[in-house]
């Protein structure tokens, strides 16, 4: 009976993917193609790596995140070009590069939900319905990020890496590799390890050393590497002015929605959870403060949500608690 239920459950998840991915892909594709969202032009790197963008000059920090566009080059060579009835400002080659990244993002958003469910179901006491709801919530929170950019791919990698945090043979090479996906991954793991240590007084110093080494390596690349760009992100003397400037973005409705609401959502999940790591609630606050000092404008909420993978147990516990309360009062 359990095997039959698991097969039906797996089929339901696959069916959901076949329904969700195509329209999500097309929505992301159209948003980028018609420049409806401010984006980081990773599509330019796809063409650059394919020797089809000779006038383009790579710049930091994007040039140091090659894995995402490199995967895009593989997709670029497989999928056909989908054109639009209304003209865009992009050439066919550029559109195909954009299309490739849109497909990667749609698949990653779906997989974030699937991997969340998979992680939660490792606990035999997990309720399948609550795990499914938690997966949907985790995937839905991607829409507070740059879901049309690198964030879904980086978040998916973070969630998977979190699953193996106690397995050095996987975690250590993966954290070193993560800097080529997004430097934010090793930074959020650094904050997480410190918060976990303060709560439990236990820490894997080998893993922590690897994280710190990866962070130093990245800073070295940014300061002395061959590619410049966005130097204010690593200029400590500019942090005070950046902090003051960032506050002006918060004093708007857009700032409250894009920057503050994601933090409030994570805090909501924490306070309804069992608080397995007591200090976890400070995680989004720390990332929020870092975002302020780095003059991230309306991208602070994006940075805060990089703590999301570490809140997966809190999301499940919140769903379980609220659902149980609803049923008990029903």
pLDDT digits (tens, 9 = 90+) for 107-146: 999 999 999 999 998 876 789 899 999 999 999 999 999 8
User: Does residue 25 contact residue 102 with C-beta atoms inside 8 Å?
Assistant: yes
Domain count, the chain: 3
267 within some domain: yes
- Return the axis-axis angle of helices 239-250 and 282-293, rounded to nearest 10°: 110
Question: What pLDDT digit, counting tens, does each position of 229-266 carry?
Answer: 777 666 666 666 677 777 777 878 988 999 999 999 99
* Domain-embedded: residue 151: yes
For the segment 189-236, what is each residue's pLDDT rounded down to a tens digit?
999 999 888 888 888 999 999 999 999 999 999 999 898 877 766 666
- Quote the tokens at residue 58: 């790579």
Q: Decide which of 215, 230, 245 is a domain's last residue.
A: 230
Give the model's pLDDT for residue 179. 95
The verdict on 154 and 58 lying in the same domain is: yes
Contact between residue 218 and residue 186 where contact means Cβ atoms under 8 Å apart: yes
- How many angstroms separate the CA atoms of 303 and 163, rounded? 21
Note whether 40 and 99 are same-domain residues: yes
What domain range is 30 assigned to? 1-163
Whole-angstrom distance, CA of residue 215 vs CA of residue 205:
15
Which domain-ending residue is among 163, 182, 207? 163
State the pTM of this model.
Answer: 0.92
User: Which run of H or of E encompasses 318?
Assistant: helix 312-328
Looking at residue 1, its pLDDT comes to 39
Residue 149 and residue 199 in one domain: no
Which of 163, 184, 206 terminates a domain? The answer is 163
Q: For the chain, give the mean pLDDT.
A: 89
């Amino acid at each position: 009976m359990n095997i039959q239920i698991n097969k039906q459950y797996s089929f339901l998840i696959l069916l959901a993917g076949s329904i969700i991915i195509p329209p999500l892909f097309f929505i992301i594709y159209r948003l980028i193609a018609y420049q409806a969202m401010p984006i980081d032009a990773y599509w330019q790197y796809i063409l650059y790596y394919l020797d089809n963008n000779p006038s383009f000059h790579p710049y930091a920090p994007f040039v140091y995140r090659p894995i995402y566009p490199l995967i895009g080059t593989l997709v670029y060579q497989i999928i056909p070009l989908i054109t639009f009835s209304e003209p865009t400002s992009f050439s066919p080659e550029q559109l195909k590069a954009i299309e490739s990244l849109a497909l990667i993002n749609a698949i990653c958003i779906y997989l974030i939900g699937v991997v969340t469910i998979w992680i939660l179901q490792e606990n035999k006491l997990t309720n399948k319905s609550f795990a499914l709801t938690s997966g949907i919530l985790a995937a839905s929170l991607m829409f507070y990020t740059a879901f049309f950019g690198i964030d879904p791919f980086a978040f998916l990698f973070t969630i998977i890496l979190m699953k193996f945090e106690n397995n050095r043979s996987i975690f250590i090479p993966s954290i070193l590799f993560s800097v080529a996906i997004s430097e934010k991954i090793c930074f959020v793991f650094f904050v997480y390890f410190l918060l976990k240590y303060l709560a439990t007084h236990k820490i894997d110093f080998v893993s922590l050393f690897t994280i710190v080494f990866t962070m130093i390596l990245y800073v070295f690349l940014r300061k002395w590497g061959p590619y410049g760009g966005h130097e204010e992100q690593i200029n400590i003397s500019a942090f005070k002015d950046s902090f003051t400037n960032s506050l002006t973005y918060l004093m708007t409705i857009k700032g409250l929605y894009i920057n503050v609401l994601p933090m409030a959502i994570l805090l909501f999940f924490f306070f309804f959870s069992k608080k397995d790591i007591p200090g976890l609630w400070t995680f989004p606050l720390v990332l929020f403060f870092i975002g302020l000092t780095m003059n991230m404008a309306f991208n602070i909420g994006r940075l805060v949500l990089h703590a999301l993978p570490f809140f997966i147990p809190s999301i499940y516990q919140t769903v379980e608690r609220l659902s149980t309360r609803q049923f008990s009062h029903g």
